[in-house]
Amino acid sequence: MSSVVLLDPDPTRRPALAAAIAVEHEVHACGDPREAARHLDRGERVLLADSDAYPTATLLELSRSGRVAVPMILAGEPNHALLRAGAVFIDKPFSLSTIKEAMLALASAECRDTARECPAIYRASEVNAPPGSGDGLDGPSPAMARVREEIVRFAAFDFPVMILGETGTGKELAAKRIHRLSRRAGKPFIALNCAALGDELAASQLFGTERGAFTGAIDRRGALEEAGEGTLFLDELGEMRPPVQALLLRALEERETVRIGGGKARDFAARVMTATNADLSADRIRLDLLARLEILVLDMPPLRERREDIPWLAARFLAESSRDKILSAGALEVLDGHAWPGNVRELRNVMYRAVVASGSRDLIDAADLRFHTLSRSRVGGRP
């Protein structure tokens, strides 16, 4: 029978939870970390705690109580430092089934002799994202907490939003979440990649065409009309050609749009959001257009600046693969040390490859990680 120190600040929940755990384990319940430390010093083997209720530094100190590292089962938002210390995270609120699963993990062959030998593991099934999320913008880092706060603030207004960030940081995901949280939710979200459109195609895609405007032209609505009272998202804004920029500027100023080859003006009621991974200097975009579009600016941090999110995101991508896989301490260490030039998109691809490489094994180790970055010349692009 394992001995458990239950650290929970809720005096109404603590006795009932302790009584349930006591059916299978010896348990010492307390709300004060100092009392928990005294029990752990006497050799109790497992710390079960609400990680959101106590500082990370306190929990790390408790993990070092006694002669060897203390195994920890923590309920709450995954924390990179605690994962590195060997913690197993479970869903909140506490449930006996997840506690039992975590105890079995700690009692496995890797963990039986001493907690010091137990690898840090993170089970994909223990990811419990906040309601309404699941779009890849969640995670425990302060950087992403700031992004989420700004998204909520921006969603309350109709001002244009410009989203800045490297490739793969989730700029379009951020735009979609702003739209989903705004009064325009339920209305169309229309996205166009400006880098993929030439002058004529971009103009017709944005503004639509009237029959006879050019050879083969038909009556067709453009993105500005399609967006209606919803959101128009223009990705890679810096790649938009100057003639199209001039047409877009007029539409923003007049709040109306005219199809190519047509004369009838139609109301333009959509909110405009844009994104770019490049420096928007004067030779790339009209300054008067930029002034219209950068009223609200959201900076998406690169993954290398939010490493606390890596284990959390990795587990989410593993869960998407419909496989109950586990990341070893060695795999987590490799992920933490990678530069991530492709950001979250690259991490997703690495996890999908790891699922395939690990085959029937539940444990994903460092050897299963594949970092494939094709050069431009190999895929036919410019060197």
Q: 210 and 96, same structural domain?
A: no
| Full domain range(s) for residue 363 | 303-377
Q: 271 and 155, same structural domain?
A: yes
Residue 219 CA neighbour count, 13 Å, CB half? 2
Number of domains in the chain: 3
* CATH number of the domain residue 92 falls in: 3.40.50.2300
- The predicted pLDDT at position 125 comes to 36
- Structure-model confidence comparison of residues 244 and 301, the more confident one: 301
Q: 89 and 13, same structural domain?
A: yes
pTM score, two decimals? 0.63
Cis status, amide bond into 93, omega within 30 of 0: yes
* CATH number of the domain residue 371 falls in: 1.10.8.60
Last residue of a domain, one of 230, 264, 299: 299
Q: Does pLDDT of 357 surpass 70?
A: yes
- The predicted pLDDT at position 2 comes to 67
* CATH number of the domain residue 237 falls in: 3.40.50.300
Assigned domain for 134 exists: no
Q: In which element (H, E) is residue 58 found? A: helix 56-63
Q: 208 and 147, same structural domain?
A: yes
Assigned domain for 136 exists: no
- Structure-model confidence comparison of residues 50 and 79, the more confident one: 50
Task: Confirm if 280 and 272 have CB atoms less than 8 A apart.
Answer: no
For residues 272-301, average pLDDT: 88
Last residue of a domain, one of 120, 152, 174: 120
Q: Where are the beta strands (DSSP E) in the chain?
A: 3-7, 26-30, 46-50, 72-75, 88-90, 122-123, 161-164, 189-193, 208-209, 220-221, 231-235, 256-258, 265-267, 271-276, 296-299, 326-327, 363-364
- Structure-model confidence comparison of residues 223 and 132, the more confident one: 223
pLDDT tens track for 156-207? 999 999 999 999 999 999 999 999 999 999 899 999 888 776 666 667 778 8
360, two tokens: 């029937």
Q: 270 and 361, same structural domain?
A: no
Concatenated DSSP letters for 216-237? T---EE-HHHHHTTSEEEEESG
Q: 77 and 14, same structural domain?
A: yes
Assigned domain for 356 exists: yes
Which is it for the CA torsion 369, 307, 137, 158, positive or negative? negative
Q: 73 and 16, same structural domain?
A: yes
Assigned domain for 128 exists: no
Q: Which of 42-51, 123-132, 187-196 has the highest mean pLDDT?
A: 187-196
- The predicted pLDDT at position 368 comes to 93
Instruction: Find tokens 């004060």 and name the residue.
Output: 32
- The predicted pLDDT at position 120 comes to 34
Q: 286 and 153, same structural domain?
A: yes
Q: 242 and 288, same structural domain?
A: yes
168, two tokens: 């793969």
Q: Does pLDDT of 375 surpass 60?
A: no
Q: Does pLDDT of 283 surpass 80?
A: no
Q: Which of 134-148, 305-319, 352-366 has the highest mean pLDDT?
A: 352-366
Q: 283 and 338, same structural domain?
A: no
Assigned domain for 176 exists: yes
Spatial CA neighbour of 128 closest among 177, 78, 79: 78
Q: 100 and 11, same structural domain?
A: yes
- The predicted pLDDT at position 64 comes to 78
Q: 80 and 188, same structural domain?
A: no
